[in-house]
Amino acid sequence: MRGRSVGFDSGSRVVNEQGVAMLTVLLIMLMMTVLGIAALTVTGFESRMAGFATSTESAAMAAEACAGTAVNVIQQTIDPYVGAGILPVAFLSNATPAGPVPQANAAVLTQEIMGQSDNNSDVPVGTGAVPNLVQTVGAYQVSGDIDRLYIKGKAGSGMQQFAGYEGTGNSAVGSSDLFYRVDCVAQNTATGTSARVTVVYACTLSGESCQK
């Protein structure tokens, strides 16, 4: 019986191993590329979210600043020793430095603060808007509206009503609160970011304090 010899081609085996190694390297590179793209995408998304949150917070702070200005306007107007029922000139847009109240809207604002136009339906922005306050706070254009809602005597106090004009300090005797709604909207037209703050304040007749 004649034996049969089996040949072994070491060159083919080396070539096959090199092919497998190259395929493995390509797969690893592909996975690393996918992971890198995913990481960049997540990082970019997180950056955009952080930027949006920062912009929203800045807009809210600008609207809050408008509300603070509105309270100051209310207090000084109703204070019998400062405005005495008349909007101080320092708040007007034609003052030096310019104030937040547009000159054209000053008379309307005085009526609203003093109770001659309670629950006025005007709005700070939108169709038919007649803003009582106009300010620039950082990158935001802020518009505000002040409306007196009603006057209410404190528990145990007396109220004496007069016909005609209801002026602060003239329409009530005793301890009373004046309730005001302040509506402020901050907008950044470049980024489209906006925020709205609506607050109700109870102010003393003397203007000494206003509480949310």
Dist CA 36 CA 129 (whole Å):
51
Which residues in the chain come in under a pLDDT of 50? 1, 8, 159-174
For position 62, what pLDDT does the model report?
A: 93
For position 67, what pLDDT does the model report?
A: 95
**∠ CA 193-73-204, rounded to 5°:** 120
Sign of CA dihedral 119, 123, 127, 130: positive
Dist CA 106 CA 51 (whole Å):
38
For position 169, what pLDDT does the model report?
A: 42
In this prediction the pTM is: 0.69
